[in-house]
Amino acid sequence: MPRPRLERESARHSERLCIVMACEDAAEASQVSLQLSQVNKGCLITYRRAEDLYFNSPSGKVALIVLASSEQPEAIGGTLRWMRHRWPHCPIAVVGDTGAGDAELAARKGGASYLTRPVTPEQWAALVTHVLRVPGRVASEERLG
């Protein structure tokens, strides 16, 4: 018997690859979107704040998480701990205004890469193509009862 339409759509969405990005600057999101469209694999899910992920997590397979909002280092650390619990093997990149500061230290302690603004199109391209082309790097969402 064929599966109902809602069940088919739910299965399709849970299999798609996605890059999750929390950013306040639409230009940064459009740069990632452009790189993603060139690879032609997956979708970009954007949030204005990292906290929005807590309440509205993506249902697909997360290939990369980018935190490009202007959060305090303490908040970055807490967000990264939660993300590591939710998606333990997913690559995470934090984008900040300056390097060698508290935000970079919090990112690296949380197991994330750190990029300083302005991030060039070549850097976005390298990040996106690397995570989408390396087999076995895509994280399945952990079901937290």
pLDDT tens digits, 1-57: 555 655 555 445 456 789 999 999 999 999 999 999 998 888 999 999 998 988 898
Q: Over the stretch 113-137, which tens digit does the pLDDT of each residue have?
A: 999 999 999 999 999 999 988 655 5
In a domain, 10, yes or no: no
d(CA 34, CA 54): 26
Tally of structural domains, the chain = 1
Residue 28 CB neighbours (<10 A): 20
In a domain, 60, yes or no: yes
Look at residue 135 in the predicted model and tell me its pLDDT: 58
Look at residue 106 in the predicted model and tell me its pLDDT: 94
Enter the pTM of the model: 0.82
| 19 against 142, higher pLDDT | 19
CATH number, domain with residue 101: 3.40.50.2300
In a domain, 121, yes or no: yes
CB half-sphere exposure, 144, CA atoms < 13 A: 11
Look at residue 134 in the predicted model and tell me its pLDDT: 63
In a domain, 11, yes or no: no
In a domain, 145, yes or no: no
Range of the domain at 128: 17-133
Look at residue 143 in the predicted model and tell me its pLDDT: 42
Question: Residue 142 corresponds to which amino acid?
Answer: E
